[in-house]
Every structure is written in C-alpha cells, then in structure tokens.
Amino acid sequence: MTIDLALYQPDFAHNTGILIRLCACMGLRLHVIHPAAFAITPQALARGGLDYVEHAIIHQHASFSVFDDWRRSEGRRLVLMTIKSSQSAYAATFAKGDIIMLGRESAGVPDSVAEVADLRLRIPMSPGLRSINVAMAGSMVVGEAMRQLSAFPTDITAT
C-alpha cells in the first residue's frame, strides 16, 4: 500500500475521469465520496478517462462519514489539499498509507470535513489567483508523494 486518492463530492466528470486515468497508470486506488454531481459510470467518465476507467480500482463511499469511518478503521492518514492552508505540499512529508483528498471543484470541502483532516496542504501559486484545476493539482501532489515514497510503478517495457 502506498497512497490512495480521494475525491470529495466531485462536480465534473471530466476531471474525475482524468484522475481515474492517473490512478490507473500509477497503480493507485481512487475513492469517490458521494454525492457526486454526475453518475459514476464508464460513459460519464469516458471523455477524461478514455479506456483507462476499466483499469482503475475505484471505491465509492455513500457519504463522507462512511468514508471517514472506513479510513479510521484502516488507520489511514487523511491529507487534504485546500487553498485554506498555509503549508506547502512540497514542504510536507508524505507517508505510506496516506489518502490525499481533493475537494469539490466549485467549493472545496466544508469546514467540518477540513477539521478532521490529519494534514492540510496547498500548492504554492502566484499571488492573486484562486486555485489550480483539481485534476492538475491532484496530479502534482500525487507525483510529489510518490517521488518521496519511491512508489512509482516500474515500467518493464521501457527501453
């Protein structure tokens, strides 16, 4: 077990599809915390996920409380990406078993969810700008966590 990625009530199927593709390619599990703004079906996710959806491991949770109960029972640390944090994702130390959670594209996560996160991080950005696209932000942070943990898959077909 390296890390997992979690999406809190995603708004856009395209971004979710892109993150599913990332998880499939990196060998990560994706947790979708409902309600999502769209059906989690191969058809809805096809634009961003292409044909990678069938290769991904996706766990769906009926609510944040169901997800949080599960992750606590597994002893997993919740790492929330949020613009409301002052701690850089690049100054943090990731650990095996971390679950990196991304909030809704339109609203992030409610304060009640942010409060239970074990670690709250942000991506440093130019002043005056609000946020990076959730799929891009997730890719950046997953890459950093996997780099720290030496957890990239080995590509045995590379020459």
Q: How many domains does the chain have?
A: 1
pLDDT at 53 (0 to 100): 80
Q: What is the pTM of this model?
A: 0.93
Residue 158 domain-assigned (yes or no): no
Query: How remote is the C-alpha of 107 from its chain's centroid?
Result: 15
Residue 129 domain-assigned (yes or no): yes
Residue 156 domain-assigned (yes or no): no
pLDDT at 22 (0 to 100): 96
Q: Cα separations (Å) of 141 from 43, 54, 62?
A: 27, 24, 25
pLDDT at 158 (0 to 100): 57
The whole-number average pLDDT for the span 96-103 is 98
pLDDT at 76 (0 to 100): 98
Residue 52 domain-assigned (yes or no): yes
Q: Which residues 6+ apart lie within 8 Å of 34 measured at CB? A: 9, 60, 61, 62, 63
DSSP 8-state code for residue 50: G
The whole-number average pLDDT for the span 44-51 is 68
- Please give the structure tokens belonging to residue 44: 């809805």
103-150 pLDDT tens trace: 999 999 999 999 999 999 999 999 999 889 999 999 999 999 999 999
Q: What number of H helices and E strands is found in the chain?
A: 5, 6
Residue 26, domain extent: 4-148
Residue 56 domain-assigned (yes or no): yes
Percent of the chain with pLDDT over 70: 94
CATH code where residue 18 lies: 3.40.1280.10
Averaged pLDDT of the chain = 92
> Residue type for 30, please?
L
DSSP 8-state code for residue 81: E
Residue 24 domain-assigned (yes or no): yes
